[in-house]
Amino acid sequence: MDQANFAVPRHLGRYLLLTGIALLMLFPLVWLLGTALKSPTEDIFGSLLQIWPQRPTLANFLTVWQNYPFARYLGNSLLVASLTVGFNLLFCSLAAYPLARLNFWGRDTLLAAIVATLMIPFQLVMIPLYILTVQLGLRNTYLGIIFPGLASAFGIFLLRQAFQGVPKELEEAARIDGCTELGIWWHVMLPAVRPALVTLGIFVFIGAWSDFLWPLIVLDQPDYFTLPLGVAKLASALDFDWRLIAAGSVISIAPIIVLFIFAQRYIIPTEVGSGVKG
């Protein structure tokens, strides 16, 4: 009885702490949305009680969408992020499968070398990557934007760990049925690690969608600008009209929030092999 009486206050304190952290994390988003919905007559730098507008309006969103090529920026970001996710899932899974399931000389050394690249800052390889991109004629192209993100060491490591959790019986059954290594990778391994693939896809999509530094370096034609560059250009053009800048920022982050809401249920691990058909 005594333990039961003390359990409620202990859990209550934990929930209050988590609720406070969640509210602290949500505050910048609420301020951003509230600023975007405010009319020119409302103060955006008032007290905390004035964060949400008294009369919300969509005029700022309409102004940004009609007067600036945000539809083009949105299409560019969607294309770049989707291609980056596709190439990452393909190349990372192809590299992770032999590292997880095949025995060959130097496998552990190769894995250690791949993981070690996670410690190398992007700024260190940025100049060589830019020179290579220019030499390949990829400057001011979509392929040039996604070139550094075609594969990632994190993705290879994540999928390798997922592949290692697949029961060997599934692999052996596929071999008995006459599957090649490529067939096992496609028909057995990929369906079995679907949650890991979705998790990697979400991380890669968010990273590609919000990337600012590399597109800024490799692009100088506005037709190829992604949303982060479009918001930066909007800020410079409007001389820091925070209502319109906030509206552009909300447009840029809304697809990420929608993606996470609809994809989060796939991240929850399910029984291994549930996606493999007999």
d(CA 156, CA 107): 13
All domains of the chain in start order, with CATH = 2-57 (no CATH), 65-267 (1.10.3720.10)
pLDDT for residue 277: 43
Beta strands in the chain (DSSP E): none
pLDDT at position 178 is 86
DSSP letter string, 85-105: HHHHHHHHHHHHHHHHH---T
Please check whether residue 89 is in contact with residue 201, taking contact to mean a CB–CB distance below 8 angstroms: yes
pLDDT by residue (tens digit) across 56-72? 899 999 999 998 899 99
- Tokens at 239, concatenated: 């001389």
Residues of the chain predicted below pLDDT 70: 1-10, 46-49, 238-240, 267-278
The pair of structure tokens assigned to 244 is 């319109």
Phi-psi label, residue 178: left if phi above 0, alpha if psi -120 to 50, beta otherwise: left
Per-residue pLDDT tens over the stretch 82-139: 999 999 999 999 999 999 999 999 999 999 999 999 999 998 999 999 999 999 999 9
Between CA 278 and CA 268 the distance in angstroms is 23
Predicted local confidence at residue 75, as pLDDT: 94
CB 230 within 8 A of CB 68: yes
Q: How far is CA 1 from CA 5, 10, 160, in A?
A: 6, 15, 47
Tally of CB atoms within 10 A around 170: 18
C-alpha–C-alpha distance, residues 113 and 238, integer Å: 47
pLDDT the model gives residue 273? 43
